[in-house]
Amino acid sequence: MTGDLMFLAGHRAYERIRSNGLSPDDVSMVVGASGAAKWLVLHGLESALFGRWFVGRKKPLHLFGTSIGSWKSAAAAQDDPMAGFDRLTHAYIHQYYKGKTTPRQVAKEADRIMDAYLPPGMAEKILAHPYCRLHLSAVRCRGPLASNHPLAMAAGLAMAWGANRISRDLFRRQCQPTLFYDPRDVPFISNNGEFPGGTVPLTGKNLRQALLASGSIPYVMESIGNIPGAPEGVYRDGGLFHYHPAFDFLKGEKGIVLYPHFHSTVTLGWFDKNRPERIADGSRLSDVLLLAPSPSFVADLPLGRIPDRRDFERLAGQDGERVAFWKKSVAMGRRLGDQFLEAVASGRIQERVKRIP
């Protein structure tokens, strides 16, 4: 019986969990992927993780995310993470657009969401959290992709797509991932070669802009510039390069990387969808435990699928239907959190964990 939640582990993580199960202190890092509205289905799982399972932890817990993965990491690192997730969820669900949606409209909605779940003083509280250490990524763009003009941006995306087809290293020169990190504990990922854009300490003055930059999807939202403390330039969605982050998270240190995810596979870059060779394998995800909704759970959702950003188009003019679908998906996602807590408490995770090929 697979249940609603799948436990999928990389090579080292699989052996460790099969032998010893899983406890909160085994986890060194929690990763959040890009995916816009898809994250709503994970609300219940992540509320259980941060609101119940990690409570009372003493040693640092590194959180790394791109795009919406960074936004929910900032909710997880609040003094009351369950309230943080609830505020983010409510504000995110209640986005409304009339007529043709423009990047300016989306930027205004993003500011409204930030206001709702990051009230005054919250940035400083996040950076003083007793054990959570927030890190996130945005890409610093070069060439046409740095422009907000639609035609220039289209040319830049075409160039980026072509570069990515050749190699991710070539793509990385156009979209330079930049790591924004909690300076209290520099994460292992800071020197693993994934961030040629450099590293920038997070402060109360730049946290909000860094989060906005990390989620600024080209064409959908305006770019972010003039981030205090960061190299001068135009910043966009960190998921352009690290769509579903997959690299050496721990630099050989012992530990588990917990990865709540809406898919059972990890796709490296935004342009790598439908490219099987760009799906991370169990070796690349060696220390990762991927937690993902099962196919049967997804089929049980109201529309038989996970919420998606394209629902704004699919259900245009039907905000009531969209909001109801998203709210129901959030409510059903509580089952994922309950099953995780039961599996680790009972030790059944040792039987349920499967190896990522």
Give pLDDT tens digits for 279-291: 999 999 999 999 9
pTM of the model: 0.96
Range of the domain at 56: 5-355
Q: Number of structural domains, the chain? A: 1
Give bridge partners of residue 291 from the DSSP assignment. 7, 260
Summarize pLDDT for 304-315 with one digit per residue, the tens.
999 999 999 999
Percent of the chain with pLDDT over 90: 90
Predicted pLDDT at 99: 85
- What contacts 170, CB < 8 A, 6 or more positions away? 163, 164
Cβ atoms 195, 189 nearer than 8 A: yes
Confidence of residue 2 (pLDDT cuts 50, 70, 90): low
Percent of the chain with pLDDT over 70: 99
Q: Which helix (H) or strand (E) holds 161?
A: helix 150-166
Strands 175-181 and 256-260: unpaired
- Torsions phi, psi of 197, nearest 5? -75, -10
Structure tokens at 277: 């060779």
CA–CA distance, 271 with 10 (Å, rounded to integer): 24
- Torsions phi, psi of 41, nearest 5? -70, -15
CA–CA distance, 176 with 315 (Å, rounded to integer): 35
- pLDDT exceeds 50 at position 1: no
